[in-house]
A and B are shown apart, each in its own frame.
Chain A
Amino acid sequence: MNKAAASNIYDILDDLPLDSGQVLTGAQIAYETYGELAADRSNAVLICHALTGDQYVASNHPITGKPGWWERMVGPGKPIDTDCHHVICANVIGSCMGSTGPASEASDGAAYAMRFPVITIRDMVRGLMALLDGLKIERLHTVVGGSMGGMQALSLAANWPERAERVLVIASTARHSAQNIAFHEVGRQAIMADPAWADGDYYASGASPDNGLAVARMAAHITYLSEEGLTEKFGRRLQNRKSKSFGFDADFQVESYLRYQGSGFTQRFDANSYLYITRAMDYFDLAEEHGGKLANAFHGTSARFCLVSFDTDWLYPTAESRHIVHALNAAGAKVSFVELSAPNGHDSFLLEHEQLDRVVQGFVE
């Protein structure tokens, strides 16, 4: 279970039509599965990953060697129990862990780079639906996602309502706010301002815009935490020194932490993928896709929904989840919602939280 292995690859044989009007030809989806698929194929749980996540939800990451990103939630006897569920987690298109993205080879043998089409959350889900078709899974027991994974779960429920019985959306939103877009734009501009970015054509050069990507990650990382969490973890404490250096080294622990997060991230993530995926999130507005009314997105759905938010999440605050709940109520859908208390902001969905475990377990079983 904890051994990192090369992912399964599914080749999408048909062209994948995209919201932009373009098509993606010869796309591949890299995915991991955990637990046995029941004979009647009724126990499949699709887990959708977040912006910088990947398919290694419950197995070691092949580059970092770290445990899967939701290993505390997924596994034998865990809230999403692989003893009774067949868990599928796939890398989204546009990403860089085996699924087709800007770093992949185009038909001319060179990397797509910025020739990769701009994709949307719905396009990512199209890729996932193609994978499910290939795996012959008609109806998911549950689709689960946190953050951007929640957007995919909502998009799946709205656009392919017959394909999931249960929809679990954690710390997410039905649309990106101006503030969400603004933070993403800071990240993109940091990457594009790095001379090594070279208009996205850096794959052959051996250089990559690591400095820009690290700054993007640092800015984004702040939005995943809470002020309370940062204060508790770092306060104004100094990093391995007794007094301020009167210079621009990482005097403060919080600086050192962010620099570490930034540089670690560049080891495992492609800068162009970061551009494309943040764009997809910024374009996400589920109501807009459905005539401007979110309730329309869920009209006639027979799925059961569960939404969870965290009181210190200022990236996708509780109001965003409530907005979705109200639309689901208006559509007459079966919906549960709870705001959980947690000190660590948006990231809380990835961290130890007993109440979250009980909600997930109760909803999924």
Chain B
Amino acid sequence: MSLRPDLAAIAAHVAPGTRVLDIGCGDGALMAELESASDVDARGMELDPALVERCVARGLSVVQGDANTDLANYPDKAFDYAILSQTLQTATRPDLILDELLRVGDKAFVSFPNFAHWRTRAALMFGGRMPVTRALPVSWYETTNIHHVTIDDFRELARAKGARIECAWYFAHENEIGAAAANWRAEFAVFQLSR
């Protein structure tokens, strides 16, 4: 089974035997990997009932819910890790979600597509149109990404929220790249945070 690169980076850094909440867990690929490979107690939240059904059918504990509102129902520090992969940019208020992640989880993993990648910049600069790229494949009018964010924006948000960036991984074309000029070079990024 091959995980999406951001999920693989997260999976590689979740300590075995811990409790994890995967918010926007999709079909449960990361949860299944964590449960089978590292004996993690994984719980999920997913908005799409068809995906929840697939998760339940594979034996995962997933609740149909909306990250914008339903995280409030989890107690403080109920999890060792709260994971938000490729969902931050779809949130009504990404800043409030980040607060909630660091409330329910001791640590948080956040992955998102970087709007400042050079392809996106070039598309906007030379095309003058909202970019449709490999990392952002959907037109502006039907994308669920309502809060586009760059790596530098996210670093700034983390700082403003008093969150410590413990680690970060950057990816271009499925491959991990170095941190140098990541805001130009990375198509997406994964951050590990704590507070």
Query: Which residues does A use to contact B, with CB under 8 Å?
Result: 304, 306, 325-326, 329-330, 332, 334-341, 355, 358-359, 361-363
B window 56-78: CB within 8 A of A: 56-65, 73-75, 78
Q: Are B43 and A334 in contact (CB under 8 A)?
A: yes
How far is B56's CA from A339's CA once the two chains are assembled, in angstroms?
A: 12
Query: With a CB–CB cut-off of 8 A, which chain A residues contact B73?
Result: 325-326, 329-330
Are B59 and A337 closer than 8 Å at their CB atoms?
A: no
Residues of chain B with a CB closer than 8 A to A326's CB: 73
Tell yes or no: B30 within 8 A of A by CB.
no
Cross-chain contact B63 with A335 (CB below 8 angstroms): yes
Q: Are B61 and A304 in contact (CB under 8 A)?
A: yes
Q: State the main secondary structure of chain B at its contact with A.
A: mixed
B49 → chain A, closest Cβ, in Å?
5
Determine whether the beta carbon of B49 is less than 8 Å from that of A336: no
Residues in B with CB closer than 8 Å to A304 are 61
CB distance from A221 to the nearest CB of B (A): 27
**A residues less than 8 Å from B78 (CB atoms):** 329, 332
User: In whole angstroms, what is the CA distance A336 to B49 when docked?
Assistant: 11
Cα(A325)–Cα(B44), bound, Å: 13
A337 contacts which of B41, B50, B60, B63 (Cβ < 8 Å)?
Answer: B63
Bound together, the chains give a CA A195 to CA B53 distance in angstroms of: 50
Contacts of B83 in A (CB 8 A): none
Bound Cα distance from A341 to B52, whole angstroms: 13
7 interchain pairs, CB-CB under 8 A: A335-B63, A337-B62, A338-B52, A338-B64, A339-B49, A362-B56, A362-B59
- Residue B55 lies at the interface, judged by CB distance under 8 Å to chain A: yes
Q: Is the CB of A340 within 8 A of B49?
A: yes
Q: How far does the Cβ of A230 sit from chain B's closest Cβ, in whole Å?
A: 24
The interface centre, meaning the residue of A336, A339, A341, A358 with most chain B CB atoms within 10 A of its CB, is: A336
Q: Are A336 and B75 closer than 8 Å at their CB atoms?
A: no
List, in ascending order, chain A residues with CB within 8 A of B61's CB: 304, 334-336
Point out the residues of chain A lying under 8 angstroms from B50, CB to CB: 355
**Taking each of A329, A361, A362, which has the highest tally of chain B beta carbons within 10 Å of its own beta carbon?**
A329
Residues of B within 8 A of A334 (CB): 41, 43, 61
Chain A min CB distance to B168 (Å): 30
List of A residues within 8 angstroms of B74 by Cβ:
329-330
Chain A residues within an 8 Å CB radius of B57: 358-359, 361-363
**Cα–Cα distance between A355 and B73 once the two chains are bound (Å):** 26
Alpha-carbon distance between A359 and B55 when the two chains are bound, in angstroms:
9
Known: A332-B75, A334-B43. 12 other contacts (CB 8 A): A325-B73, A326-B73, A329-B73, A330-B75, A336-B62, A337-B62, A337-B65, A338-B64, A358-B53, A358-B57, A362-B56, A363-B59
Bound Cα distance A337, B64 (Å): 6
Write the chain A residue with the least CB distance to B52. A338
Q: Pick from A325, A330, A332, A359: contact of B56, CB below 8 A.
A: A359
Closest B residue to A326 by CB, please name it: B73
Report yes or no: B49 in contact with A338, Cβ–Cβ below 8 A.
yes
The smallest beta-carbon distance between A1 and chain B, in angstroms, is 26
Write out the residue numbers on chain A whose beta carbons fall within 8 Å of the beta carbon of B43: 334-335
| Interfacial chain A residues near B56, Cβ < 8 Å | 306, 336, 338, 359, 362-363
Task: Report the minimum CB–CB distance from A161 to chain B (whole Å).
Answer: 17
Q: Is the CB of B53 within 8 A of A359?
A: yes
